[in-house]
Structure formats: C-alpha cells, structure tokens
Amino acid sequence: MEDKKLDNWGEVNEKIKSSKIIRIGWKKILGESLTIRIHRLRNKGHNSDEVFSILVRNPSILKYCRLNPLHAARVLENLKTSVCARFGESKTASKIREEIN
C-alpha cells in the first residue's frame, strides 16, 4: 500500500462540491466561522441548547432567514446539526485529553 498523506481539506471540499446540501456562508453572516462562534459560546459556559438558542436569535442569522425564506428551515436545521456536532467533537476531545493525562 502506497504511503500517501491525506489532504484533509481537499477531501472535505470534494465532498462539499458533490453534495446536494445547501452550504451557508456563516463567515459572511456572522463575521467569523460558525465553529469559532460555537466554541466561543461554549467556552463562556453555555451548553448546546443555550448555544443553539443564542444563535437562532442572532440578528444576522434572523436577517439572513428573512431574506432567504425558502432556506430558513434548512438554515435552522444546519445550525442545530452544527452545534450538536461541535459539542460532540469537543466532548470526545476532552475525554481523550483526560485519558492521556
């Protein structure tokens, strides 16, 4: 087997291109990536329900939904999935750090 390094973002970007899922430009909406925003709120002590609630009330997200009413439900679905995924990833990373230390 050939020893080849994975191109992490290249792999992800290829899947995004072929996906039918609508991509949302969170950085344009929030001024930073959704991942960064989620982690900022998590680091302030908010749980996943609180983070989701804070984000769905964000004026920039509300404005985007108003301007794109056909995608509003998908935006909220994407937001919920993203919050849950980031919290799950963080929890797993914390457990691994605890096991190492």
**What is the pTM assigned to this prediction?**
0.75
> Which residues of the chain fall below pLDDT 70?
1-3, 12, 15-16, 19-21
Quick one: pLDDT at residue 19? 67
Answer whether 28's CB lies under 8 Å from 63's CB.
Answer: no
